[in-house]
Amino acid sequence: MNHNTGATNECPVYPGEYVLLPEIKSRLDRFKSGGKDTSVQLPVNMNEFPDCYRIEVAIPGAVREEILMDITDNVLSIVVFRKEIVGETVGKEVLQLHEFNDEPVERQILLPDDANAEFISAGFVNGILRLDIPKDYTQTRTNSNQVVVY
């Protein structure tokens, strides 16, 4: 992290360890091995602050339990597994028009060299996934890391 005096901490950091449930890991493995090329790209904004990077990803209609993230070799991978929409019923009517895409969507982002993937904090509010990634100039990082969305 940047330890300069007088620098404001724009990005909160919550370290932790996250282990996927076996059924989620199995679904993720099936998705990644399927080699699907999704035409939908999640829109991303990335800003740099003195002590961190902030990435915001628009994922409207999702809930945080549908978002899986990991970092491998400095590449952030975001996968959204939406719940299947199957003949929703409203009152006595069955909805017949389903234009929302319920296919899994993945976005990969190459992180800057000074991004510390071990101390990412992630929050999801009103369809916006916000990641705060502290800067670390010591270049000590792990090869792989899971990220939990709060």
pLDDT tens-digit map of 98-115: 566 667 788 999 999 899
Q: What are phi and psi of 118, to 5 degrees?
A: -75, -20
Smallest CA-to-CA distance from 77 within 53, 101, 61, 55 is with 55
The number of distinct structural domains making up the chain is 1
Q: Around 44, how many Cα atoms within 13 Å sit in the side-chain half-sphere?
A: 18
Q: What does the alpha-carbon distance between residue 129 and residue 141 come to, in Å, rounded to a whole number?
A: 23
* pLDDT at 119 (0 to 100): 86
Task: With respect to residue 1, please indicate whether it lies within any of the assigned structural domains.
Answer: no
Task: With respect to residue 7, please indicate whether it lies within any of the assigned structural domains.
Answer: no
Smallest CA-to-CA distance from 61 within 20, 107, 98, 24 is with 98
Task: With respect to residue 6, please indicate whether it lies within any of the assigned structural domains.
Answer: no
Contact 119, 13 (CB under 8 A): yes
Task: With respect to residue 111, please indicate whether it lies within any of the assigned structural domains.
Answer: yes
Average pLDDT, the chain: 75
* pLDDT at 51 (0 to 100): 93
Task: With respect to residue 56, please indicate whether it lies within any of the assigned structural domains.
Answer: yes
Smallest CA-to-CA distance from 43 within 28, 58, 31 is with 58
Q: Indicate which CATH number applies to the domain containing 143.
A: 2.60.40.790
Residue-range definition of the domain harbouring residue 29: 22-147
Task: With respect to residue 112, please indicate whether it lies within any of the assigned structural domains.
Answer: yes
- Give pLDDT tens digits along the chain (150 positions): 444 444 455 655 545 555 555 666 666 666 666 655 544 678 999 999 999 999 999 998 888 888 988 888 889 999 888 765 555 555 666 666 656 666 778 899 999 989 988 888 999 999 999 999 999 877 655 566 767 776
Task: With respect to residue 142, please indicate whether it lies within any of the assigned structural domains.
Answer: yes
Q: What are phi and psi of 117, to 5 degrees?
A: -70, -15
Task: With respect to residue 9, please indicate whether it lies within any of the assigned structural domains.
Answer: no
